[in-house]
Structure 1
Amino acid sequence: MRQTVALLVVGVLASGCPAPPAAPPPPPEEEPFPPPGERERIDAAVAPVLEGEWVSGLVVGLADSRGPRVYAYGTIDGDSVVELGSVTEVFTGLLLADAVQRGLVALDDPVRKYLPPEVSFPEEITLRHLATHTAGLPRRPDNFAPADLTDPYADYTVAKLHEYLGRFRPQTPPGETFAVSNLGIALLAQVLAPDYETTLRERILEPLGMRHTGITIEGLAQGHDGDLVAVGPWSFGAFAGAGGLRSTANDLLALLGANLGYLESSIDAALAFARTPLTDRMALGWQIMEDGRTLWRTGQTGGCRSFLALDPDAGLGVVVLSDTSSDVVDQIGRVALGRQEAVELRPTVELSTYLLDLWVGRYRLERGLYLEVKREEDHLVLISPDEPPARLYAASAVDFYVRVSDLQITFRDDALVLHRPDGDQTARRARR
């Protein structure tokens, strides 16, 4: 609450008499709820996203000293259950923080200590390395071969995980290189809690009053791909601790409120430990934004997108959930957080079938893998070895993008170039 501080005037009158006593300060003013202009600012960010049919629905939640509030748009609201994807990692990080606080594990314990004796995992890789994405593990294991690309993790078992771990040898010394690894977080969750959902509910969710968060939560909102086509939910098998949670905006506001000190809980020590930076890029479960202080995480499944952020200095938390798999959700989160003025949508142009057909073909990646580009009526489709087919939207005659991620593509006469935040990759065109 803001307090008005009275100004004490020290001095004497011209006659030499003492100054009269200062008037008592007025009573504290209540902070307006919600803050003036907040709704209008978020409405302005969301409007072009809905009008351009980038999402079916989304909900924005904020938590600060005024209290929690939710702004809902389209097909979902603050109580809608949405898949969290990699935001699940925040909860796995909390499980690790809680276990460290209770003396059950130490960050520098070797992972092998907690694996079956027959799994010959490298001794030098620790729990800290898994949690900070510096273990040298790939994003996915090489025996990841989903039978159904629309539910890619469903058939990946713990037995497959152990088989891969027994063969894995890091290419760089653990602790040296940051590389996001869903596999590493899935392994961390297996080590901490083989029965992930039960342990998480007892140690984290119940103390925070998060009754609508879990893996087997009912009433899941209908998800949509980047083209607003309805898709089924994902099931995560051995990857549950890396992406399997479902939750609501109101539940996640409780997590943010507890982290900011607006709600008391029995796990405050674990919450604080999880927020402590371990590297310049990672705390436990939280990534660190470019300002060096804001903690955040994003997540995505085939039909949902999530954004969670915490600015301890400003006392502000933001959650954005959508029932559509579109990375534009992250921009709305940054607007709500005050890190971005407005949402910047990529342009879309219409191309003739003649121009589209110029790029149809197969393109060779490293390791003998191929991408395929097909035309379906008035647009192109990208077919990858381990991803569901994705529609390509034209920004120009040679530049394309997908709406489900930040991937962009530039076509050349003899190749295509994949543009991602972590670098470019060229795929040469195969001979027809």
Structure 2
Amino acid sequence: MALLPELQAWIDEAAERHGVPGVAVAVGAAGELAEAATGVVNLSTGVEATPDSVFQIGSVTKVWTTTLIMQLAGEGLVDLDEPVRRYLPEFGVLDPDASEAVTVRQLLAHTGGFDGDLFEDTGRGDDAAGRLVEFMRANARQVSPPGALFSYCNSGYVALGALAARLRGATWESALRRHVIEPLGVTHMALYAEEAVLFRVAAGHIGDAKKVYPRWQLPRSNAPAGSTPSAAARELVRFGRMFLADGVAGDGPRILPSGTFAAMREAQITLPDMGARAAYGWGLGLMLFDVDGVPVVGHDGSTPGQRACWRVVPGRDVVVAIMTNGGDGPALIDEVLDAVLAATAGLKVPARPVPPASPAPAEPLTGRYSSPMADYEVKPADGALEVTYIPKGISREVEDEPITMRYVPLDAPGGVFIGVEKDEGIYPLIRFLRDGRYLYNSRAIPRTG
């Protein structure tokens, strides 16, 4: 392997160290492609993971949905600053004023301000996403004014997928296949379980016991947000190279108008500070990072027991895709990504924060914060905070009992709090926004009462 000859050894060692059943990695740099895989796609079957194995890509799907929207914008069929209802009249949330005001741009940037984790199973029919949009009208709370606050929003991307399907006169899946997947020349990608079984497909493994997650695919209602697609790592590299080529696929077809990738990289909102390694902002469908002073964009994805990481370094002609199916997947992704970006782009990624040896006393916060997927009970405990995570809805399929974790201040009181124990190999971070009105962990979760 001319590019990254150490890649196989890196992932072999990292998978063993972090207890990850299977890993697949692809790296594109300077016109070359490096691929490697290790372990198995399913501990129950023992089937070997290979570079062409397909893993669930989770929310990396949102960049594919964004591509559909940016194509429509390039054709003059969508104005990003118009209300969503101009194109999707049935869109709405509980707040009637927000229903009229939320724009396409705000959905792309996760600033619509409404509940984002509505995973209602609306069936497997072609109307699944449309029925989820209908469900939102009576169930999506407005937790902040449109445009005021970043809060990661799966439901907003379901609405974007339904919008794209409406304007293309198709389902989201068929629109994506016709307008993105096929023109790109992608071969190892599945949008349905019946497509995935044609490949060497990864299953998610959950918990310390690495039990195979019994539901291989999440509800189709959230497909445009990432509940169903799976792909080989090399296909995510192919996708990234299209952006680096200013919207042109490898064999010539133009996927996006010239200048679209530059527009997508413009910050739409600055995120709450969660440490040097975290994204500092959000563009149009893209996470924005500053790594060693160099702009990096990408997206992360997760489904039960599976993780995906996709990064593009525009100034260094590098695309990285890393996929895992259980164990301490986030810790492995950190380790492999750091090594790859150092070797290909000359970048040093900041380390994740660790709990301070002598943390400052925490402000004695008390409260309950509620989202569709979980409630969080916060109370003071001996100079720290005790946060109890109480799963709800689909989260109960992964964790069926409350989990309590101790958090200490990472820096000054009122800033970031860090868990004193690792979760999937990394220390979790939270912070409180607007004088404690929101608990923030990429979602702005409102305080109740």
TM-score w.r.t. length of structure 1: 0.69
Change (3 A) 1:278 1:175: farther
Counterparts of 1:308-323 in structure 2 under 5 Å?
A: 308-323=310-325
Checking the alignment, whether the CA contact within 8 Å between 2:115 and 2:143 is kept in structure 1 is no
Whose radius of gyration is greater, 1 or 2? 1
Checking the alignment, whether the CA contact within 8 Å between 1:186 and 1:241 is kept in structure 2 is yes
Checking the alignment, whether the CA contact within 8 Å between 2:27 and 2:234 is kept in structure 1 is no
1:389 aligns with 2:399: yes
2:30 to 56, 65, 70: 65
CA distance in 1, matches of 2:13, 2:446: 31
CA distance in 1, matches of 2:129, 2:76: 29
Task: List per-residue Cα deviations over 1:321-342 (Å, max 9, x = no partner).
Answer: 1222632243122432234579
Checking the alignment, whether the CA contact within 8 Å between 1:61 and 1:69 is kept in structure 2 is yes
1:333 aligns with 2:337: yes
Secondary structure in structure 2 of the residue aligned to 1:62: strand
CA distance in 1, matches of 2:144, 2:447: 24
* Deviation of 1:115 (Å): 2.6
Checking the alignment, whether the CA contact within 8 Å between 1:320 and 1:329 is kept in structure 2 is no
Checking the alignment, whether the CA contact within 8 Å between 1:54 and 1:328 is kept in structure 2 is no
Checking the alignment, whether the CA contact within 8 Å between 1:86 and 1:300 is kept in structure 2 is yes
* Deviation of 1:198 (Å): 0.3
Change (3 A) 1:39 1:334: same
Higher mean Cα deviation, 217-226 or 128-137? 217-226
CA distance in 2, matches of 1:69, 1:59: 11
Task: List per-residue Cα deviations over 1:297-345 (Å, max 9, x = no partner).
Answer: 0101012111111111001111111222632243122432234579889
CA distance in 2, matches of 1:259, 1:65: 14
Counterparts of 1:36-185 in structure 2 under 5 Å?
A: 38-40=4-6, 42-43=7-8, 45-75=10-40, 76-116=49-89, 122-141=99-118, 158-165=130-137, 170-185=142-157
Task: List per-residue Cα deviations over 1:227-263 (Å, max 9, x = no partner).
Answer: 3221231233221100121111122222122222382
Change (3 A) 1:343 1:222: farther
Aligned letter for 2:290?
A: E
Aligned letter for 1:161?
A: V
* Deviation of 1:424 (Å): 11
* Deviation of 1:285 (Å): 2.2
Checking the alignment, whether the CA contact within 8 Å between 1:274 and 1:285 is kept in structure 2 is no
Change (3 A) 1:179 1:123: same
CA distance in 2, matches of 1:421, 1:270: 31
Change (3 A) 1:118 1:161: closer
How many residue pairs get aligned? The number is 352
Checking the alignment, whether the CA contact within 8 Å between 1:92 and 1:189 is kept in structure 2 is yes
Higher mean Cα deviation, 252-261 or 181-190? 252-261
1:269 aligns with 2:256: yes
Partner of 2:277: none
Checking the alignment, whether the CA contact within 8 Å between 1:87 and 1:298 is kept in structure 2 is yes
Counterparts of 1:223-372 in structure 2 under 5 Å?
A: 223-227=204-208, 228-232=210-214, 233-243=216-226, 244-261=228-245, 263-270=250-257, 272-276=259-263, 277-279=265-267, 281-291=281-291, 293-324=295-326, 326-331=329-334, 332-338=336-342, 339-340=347-348, 365-366=368-369, 369=375
Checking the alignment, whether the CA contact within 8 Å between 2:129 and 2:159 is kept in structure 1 is no
CA distance in 1, matches of 2:267, 2:441: 23
CA distance in 2, matches of 1:278, 1:390: 40
Checking the alignment, whether the CA contact within 8 Å between 2:354 and 2:427 is kept in structure 1 is no
Aligned letter for 1:54?
A: G
Change (3 A) 1:83 1:102: same
Percent identity between the two aligned chains: 23
Instruction: Say what the alpha-carbon RMSD is for the aligned residues.
Output: 4.0
Aligned letter for 2:5?
A: R
Unaligned runs of 5+ in 2: 41-48, 269-280, 356-365, 378-387, 408-418, 431-438
TM-score w.r.t. length of structure 2: 0.67
CA distance in 2, matches of 1:210, 1:221: 18
* Deviation of 1:408 (Å): 6.8
CA distance in 1, matches of 2:132, 2:445: 31
Checking the alignment, whether the CA contact within 8 Å between 1:55 and 1:226 is kept in structure 2 is no
Aligned letter for 1:211?
A: T
Aligned letter for 1:273?
A: T
Secondary structure in structure 2 of the residue aligned to 1:52: helix
Secondary structure in structure 2 of the residue aligned to 1:289: strand
Checking the alignment, whether the CA contact within 8 Å between 1:98 and 1:267 is kept in structure 2 is no
CA distance in 2, matches of 1:87, 1:370: 27
Aligned letter for 1:203?
A: H
Unaligned runs of 5+ in 1: 1-32, 348-362, 372-380, 410-417, 428-432
Aligned letter for 1:34?
A: A
Task: List per-residue Cα deviations over 1:282-309 (Å, max 9, x = no partner).
Answer: 3332211134621110101012111111
Aligned letter for 1:173?
A: P
Secondary structure in structure 2 of the residue aligned to 1:321: strand
CA distance in 2, matches of 1:425, 1:116: 28
Checking the alignment, whether the CA contact within 8 Å between 1:260 and 1:312 is kept in structure 2 is yes
Checking the alignment, whether the CA contact within 8 Å between 1:89 and 1:242 is kept in structure 2 is yes
CA distance in 1, matches of 2:12, 2:330: 16
* Deviation of 1:74 (Å): 1.6
Task: List per-residue Cα deviations over 1:388-423 (Å, max 9, x = no partner).
Answer: 218989999x943322876379xxxxxxxx995779
Secondary structure in structure 1 of the residue aligned to 2:250: coil
Change (3 A) 1:84 1:384: same
